[in-house]
Every structure is written in structure tokens, then in C-alpha cells.
Amino acid sequence: MRILFELKIIEHFDSAHYLREYAGKCKNVHGHTWNIEVVVKGESLNELGLLIDFTELKKVVKGLIKPFDHQLINEIPPFDKINPTSENLARYFYYEIKKVLADRPKLAVSRVRVSESQSTAASYYEE
């Protein structure tokens, strides 16, 4: 049996977007308070008994979402080319967090979940 630890943090930012070629009301510019839920996993803890310090992981995520805060996401690469859907945002943040944590071989991104409202969310993960 493989034993894993998981750790989750949630951060948020406010921004606007619109969906290109969408047939509904989301084709118009509108705003959200986006919640980004990040789950990391690993098999071992450090000498303090931590997988990663919550503060350190929050700092990573805050640094990645800062360019999006109070902006029009459609103007920020790669979303100037691809639709800024919750699904695409989840995948984007997954890979960006993975890059930042690449120097920690015992720590992996498990899942990134992006919510644009209390009742809607999209997750990206790899098996």
C-alpha cells in the first residue's frame, strides 16, 4: 500500500472575462470572484512534520494569480488566444504550479479546482 499526504489551500482573485464564440450571455464581458483550490500530495514529510508549509504554498499561488487580479483575463496570455473557461484556467494553474514546485521531487500537484461561483467549478488533474 502506498501512503500519501495531501494538503489543500484556497486563494481567490477578482477579474473579468468573456467566452469567445459562445452562444449565451457569457459571450459578454462579466466578472467573477474566482476561487483557486490547490491540492498537493507527497509520500514524506520534512523534519518539522510538514508536507509543505501552508504559507509557502499560498505564496506560490498568490504570485501566480496576482497578474489576473482586477484584469480582463482575455488580454493575458495564453488567454488572449484560448478561451478563459474555468477548465482552461484550472489546467493553466496546474501546470504553472507544477513548474514552480519542480525542484521538490517528493511533492506533486494533485489537483487544481477553479470556481467562478458558489455553484460551479472545474478541476484539472492527471492520473
Per-residue model confidence as pLDDT tens digits over 6-53? 999 999 999 999 999 999 999 999 999 999 999 999 999 999 999 999
Torsions phi, psi for 62 (to 5 deg): -60, -40
> Any idea what the CATH number is for the domain that residue 77 is in?
3.30.479.10
Q: Say what the pTM is.
A: 0.95
107-117/120-124 β-pairing = antiparallel
Query: Residue 33 CB: number of other CB atoms within 10 A?
Result: 12
Residues that are catalytic: 26, 70, 116
**pLDDT given at position 3:** 86
Between CA 21 and CA 10 the distance in angstroms is 31
Per-residue model confidence as pLDDT tens digits over 102-120? 999 889 999 999 999 999 9
Which domain does 109 fall in, by range?
A: 5-124
**Is 62 a residue whose pLDDT tops 90?**
yes
Q: How many domains does the chain fold into? A: 1
Between CA 31 and CA 82 the distance in angstroms is 18
**pLDDT given at position 105:** 85
Asked if residue 84 has a cis previous peptide bond (ω within 30° of 0), the answer is: no
